[in-house]
Amino acid sequence: MDRIIIRGGNRLQGRLAISGAKNAALTLLPCSLLTDEPLTLTNLPRLADVDSFGHLLNELGVSTTVKRGSNGEIGRDMTMKAKVIASTVAPYDIVRKMRASILVLGPLLARAGEAKVSLPGGCAIGNRPIDLHLKALEALGAEIELAAGYVKATAPAGGLRGGRIGFPVVSVGATENALMAAVLARGETVLENAAREPEITDLARCLVAMGAKIEGIGTERLTIEGVDRLHGARYQVMSDRIEAGSYACAAAITGGDVELLGARIEDMEAIISGLRTAGVTVTETGEGLRIIADGKLGPLTLSTAPFPAFPTDMQAQFMSMLALADGASVLTETIFENRYMHVPELARMGADIQVHGRTAVVRGVDHLIGAEVMATDLRASMSLILAGLAARGETKVHRVYHLDRGYERLEEKLSAIGADIERVGND
């Protein structure tokens, strides 16, 4: 297994291109199952999770062709064609590696009338049940059975029918599955208390480009008028607001000056407001966002919540930054119950963090010290990279495969703006 070695202390400076959004890609890829015509996604990030999703689609009978990105250096384009659905089973071996595999459930059910998907099970950041996905599909007429670790969904004779779904909790994945199923259901579907993350908007726009009828895009109430069939399309994946936010923290924690090319202010307001309150200057440039920090950071009080509030996927990275702020910060994690696994690792680098249930109190320290640390999940891994960039001495981050799931060419991007970072093989 690879590890990443960082010698901290360099001020980051320069321009860095933001890749296509992982979480948008993972819900756009299964849209290919909804039509027998080709769907081309451009600006797909080059990530392990995107490759795994491609393999899953291949298992289901989708042909995939990958080309060099039309966007220059980063990303790539993929054309998918599901002429026929050859299998409706998403096997355990693929689902266990990538929870987002559950997003084939809605599209398979809508197009083929049935789907059997391995239950994703728990994961490092919490239990992550899928009850809301299943209830939403039931509201569209599906029959659900759970057996031998699989969920089997069957559409009624004549296919799914429109329904009214009120989500008791905002769920990104359940909203995505319901939306992808409803576009081919007979009649009208209303999704209330739907997630409105920018990735959901990206999904809805792609479905509209494929011929779907959706109203209320970007709001918590989506109305879908089912159509008989969808057609092919070419669609550009949005830029990754979490990758952009992570590199903004890298600029902030090193007292740097970095322009994030392609970052979109409208997707990042809570992140930007947090950075500004901490004393970081964020300005819009014609090509993205510029992040300027002078080495001094102030404390913050932050609570994670569904969009447009502060994203749980940025909590770990902000924690590293605040570990060096002048004063005490209070972070509350309201989305996942076990998302502080980076805390003991940061503590090994000298951070002063105390966790009380869902709240973490971060008392800023004068400096962090490089150490050997273990990545536990994707965003936690990034928090360790950030700490390493600012720490005195050398930091070795083990279990880098977590990072490869979500950050395209991390060490290349960071070294191009001045970081002393390298990947070493064979852990």
**Residue 129 within binding range of ligand UD1, rule CB under 6 A:** yes
Closest CB to ligand UD1 among residues 133, 241: 133
Query: Which residues inside 344-403 make contact with ligand UD1, applying CB under 6 A?
Result: none
What is the C-alpha to C-alpha distance for residues 206 and 188, in angstroms, rounded to an integer? 19
On the CB side of 410, CA atoms within 13 Å amount to 31
Instruction: Please answer whether residues 223 and 189 qualify as being in contact, where contact means their C-beta atoms are separated by less than 8 angstroms.
Output: yes
Q: Which of 340, 314, 311 is nearest to 247 (CA)?
A: 314
Q: Which of 237, 169, 165, 170 is nearest to 199 (CA)?
A: 237
Instruction: Please answer whether residues 319 and 342 qualify as being in contact, where contact means their C-beta atoms are separated by less than 8 angstroms.
Output: yes
**Residue 405 within binding range of ligand UD1, rule CB under 6 A:** no
What is the C-alpha to C-alpha distance for residues 359 and 333, in angstroms, rounded to an integer? 6
Binder of ligand UD1 out of 4, 21, 26, 297 (CB under 6 A): 26
Closest CB to ligand UD1 among residues 173, 288: 173
What is the C-alpha to C-alpha distance for residues 47 and 38, in angstroms, rounded to an integer? 22
**Residue 105 within binding range of ligand UD1, rule CB under 6 A:** no
**Which of 205-213, 277-285, 310-318, 367-375 is the region at the interface with ligand UD1 (rule: CB under 6 A)?**
310-318
CB of residue 294 to ligand UD1, shortest distance in Å: 31
**Which of 87-95, 279-287, 305-313, 413-421 is the region at the interface with ligand UD1 (rule: CB under 6 A)?**
305-313
**Residue 174 within binding range of ligand UD1, rule CB under 6 A:** yes
**Residue 121 within binding range of ligand UD1, rule CB under 6 A:** no
What is the C-alpha to C-alpha distance for residues 354 and 361, in angstroms, rounded to an integer? 5
Binder of ligand UD1 out of 17, 155, 319, 335 (CB under 6 A): 335
Active-site annotation, residues: 123
Q: Which of 373, 369, 372 is nearest to 392 (CA)?
A: 369
**Residue 313 within binding range of ligand UD1, rule CB under 6 A:** yes
CB of residue 126 to ligand UD1, shortest distance in Å: 6
Instruction: Please answer whether residues 231 and 206 qualify as being in contact, where contact means their C-beta atoms are separated by less than 8 angstroms.
Output: no
**Which of 138-146, 164-172, 282-290, 363-371 is the region at the interface with ligand UD1 (rule: CB under 6 A)?**
164-172
Q: Which of 119, 96, 103 is nearest to 60 (CA)?
A: 103
What is the C-alpha to C-alpha distance for residues 165 and 49, in angstroms, rounded to an integer? 29
Binder of ligand UD1 out of 7, 46, 96, 128 (CB under 6 A): 128
Residues that bind ligand UD1 (CB under 6 A): 23, 26, 100, 126, 128-133, 169, 171-174, 195, 311-313, 335-336
